[in-house]
Amino acid sequence: MSGVFWWSYAALWLLVASLVVNVILAGRRARTASIQGPGLSPPNAVPTEFPRMTLEGWQGGSIAVPEGGMPHMVLFGRSGCDFCRLALEAAVSLADGEDTSVRWVFVYSGTRQEAEVITARLSLGAVRFALGGDGLLQRLKIATMPYVIAVDSTGKIAAHEAIKNRRHLESLARPLRAEFVAT
């Protein structure tokens, strides 16, 4: 074989090796980077203790959060967010499928009319639906939707994350159920 072939063969392998190194380095940088920008919550922005408050229920009345020394799963969603609707549906199925050891509250940033449309599609069951989450979202520095804050029975925040799927939501509620059963 000619020398040109061997040079091009060696150059090809050098390019492949540099590509592999760059992909590995980019992956490491992506894992360690702190992503901040519009619509994303900065890490550790949520306070360590959930502020006691009374929210307006979508059908009137009030909803105290946290309440009664029980663990709470407080979900946040807004109008026009399909993932928020899916998170609410997952919360309804999880809340209805368990005992009353965890209270579920969905805080909705939108109008009462939009809330009526959402709640007409599904039976809320054990999930309490509250309106007026915009001020609370700013107070807790939450920008990503849907978002959940797991509050233990003492009012401390046990976990806070953007919701990925139903299993993720269930995994965040599991320690709260175990805590309530143990006490």
Domain ranges for the chain, please list them: 1-33, 53-182
Q: What is the pTM of this model?
A: 0.68
Distance CA 101, CA 178 (A): 9
**Residue 44: is its pLDDT beyond 60?**
no
Q: For the structural domain made of 53-182, what CATH number should be given?
A: 3.40.30.10
Q: Which residue has the higher pLDDT, 68 or 5?
A: 5
Q: Which of 62, 91, 61 is nearest to 76 (CA)?
A: 91
Contact indicator for 58, 68 with CB cutoff of 8 Å? no
- Going from the C-alpha of 168 to that of each of 61, 147, 159, 180, the distances in angstroms are 31, 11, 12, 20
Residue 13, pLDDT score: 92
Outline where DSSP puts E strands in the chain: 53-57, 62-65, 72-78, 103-109, 127-131, 147-151, 157-162
Tell me what percent of the residues of the chain surpass a pLDDT of 90.
Answer: 1
Mean pLDDT score of the chain, rounded to an integer? 78
Mean pLDDT of 37-58: 66
Query: pLDDT tier at 137 (50, 70, 90 boundaries)?
Result: confident
* Cα three-residue angle 39-165-68, rounded to 5 degrees: 85
- Going from the C-alpha of 45 to that of each of 36, 40, 61, 100, 137, the distances in angstroms are 11, 11, 30, 29, 11
Q: Which of 52, 19, 49, 59 is nearest to 156 (CA)?
A: 49
Q: Which of 98, 117, 97, 95 is nearest to 106 (CA)?
A: 95
**Residue 100: is its pLDDT beyond 80?**
no
Contact indicator for 158, 72 with CB cutoff of 8 Å? no
Mean pLDDT of 86-97: 83
